[in-house]
Amino acid sequence: MLPSKIEKILHNKIKLDLSDCKLITTKSGDIWLIDIKTNQWYLQFSKGNVLYYYIDYFSLILPIFSIDKKDYHLILRELAYELLETNKEKNKWKKIGKITPLSSKLESLVESVINEKI
């Protein structure tokens, strides 16, 4: 595991990178973290308790901090709690089950999510 100072720097770096992102909850209950200006998604928490992450972004950031691929899921779970937790959804994040990378940009799906936002 990372030393706490390094982990804090990592979390701050990712939060800064994703500071323009918006949380969007779809009518189906999925929650997305999307940069609306670029239509780029970073995290998606599905109703089935699966956390999907955009591997092209995270595979560039995490190795900078000497994080092994085996530790990605632990770091991503912690980041999801920090980035995606809201008072309304607080208990929902405790249910994160499977964590799965996706390499696709999912442009058309992201556009649909943005247009459907509540």
pLDDT at 93: 54
pLDDT digits (tens, 9 = 90+) for 29-54: 888 899 989 889 999 988 888 999 89
Q: What is the 3-state secondary structure (H, E, C) of the chain?
A: CCCHHHHHHHHHHHHHHCCCCEEEECCCCCEEEEECCCCEEEEEECCCCCEEEEHHHHHHHHHHHCCCHHHHHHHHHHHHHHHHCCCCCHHHHHHCCCEEEECCCCHHHHHHHHHHCC
pLDDT at 89: 57
pLDDT at 35: 92
Regions of the chain with pLDDT less than 50: 87, 118
pLDDT at 90: 55
Residue 26, exposed/middle/buried by CB under 10 A (0-12, 13-18, 19+)?
middle
pLDDT at 103: 75
What are the extents of the domains in the chain? 4-116
pLDDT at 87: 45
What CA–CA distance (Å, rounded) separates 65 from 2? Answer: 9
